[in-house]
A and B are shown apart, each in its own frame.
Chain A
């Protein structure tokens, strides 16, 4: 069964810390992997898309890496800010146009 797991489930850090969120997937034959942010009661905002041929993607203070062979991705957030507080979701897709399979998310709280 194709599953996605995210660790930790929740994380609380002081402002300014660098942090890493982890995502693992059971079937390594992914087509793409996408990281999303979800604020409470809101929709999903795309952060980064990594295609299967790529090793990493960067956007501002965010860097996502992908290791297909080990079935893992990490999202690195540099110099965290209170505005980064949200749930971060990892999702994989196994074929063009196919469905996203989501992890349960990591709930991040950045304290001022």
Chain B
């Protein structure tokens, strides 16, 4: 069964450093998303991406965040200057019209 692949599975970074989280969505899906889950809290929407542009973003997704689809397969989330409160599990998801979402296994980001 097709999967959404995320790397790395765990990343530790110093506060103020830039991090890039990587995702390979399912190949015939057209909608791509990033969500995050702070420990013990709800899964929160960050951004959606369709037709090579951001289609929606949440208030969490400020200027410190950016997304890219640099080639036909990868989808990345960049955090420019990490803060302690960015520590969370980050999930990538993709969707095909008429079908539900498929999520990756997540990247656990720890900012120290």
Contacts and interface: CB of A to CB of B under 8 A. Distances in A.
Contacts, number: 55
A96 B44 CA distance: 18
Interface string A85-106: 0000101000011111111110
| Category for how many chain B residues contact A | 20 to 34
B48 A97 contact: yes
A97 to B, nearest CB: 5
A102 B106 contact: no
A46 B43 contact: no
30 contacts: A32-B100, A34-B100, A34-B101, A41-B89, A41-B108, A42-B105, A42-B106, A43-B91, A43-B104, A43-B105, A43-B106, A44-B91, A44-B93, A45-B103, A46-B101, A97-B48, A97-B97, A99-B33, A99-B56, A99-B58, A100-B33, A100-B35, A100-B43, A100-B45, A100-B93, A100-B101, A101-B45, A102-B43, A102-B44, A104-B41
Interface of A: 32, 34, 36, 41-46, 49, 89, 91, 96-105
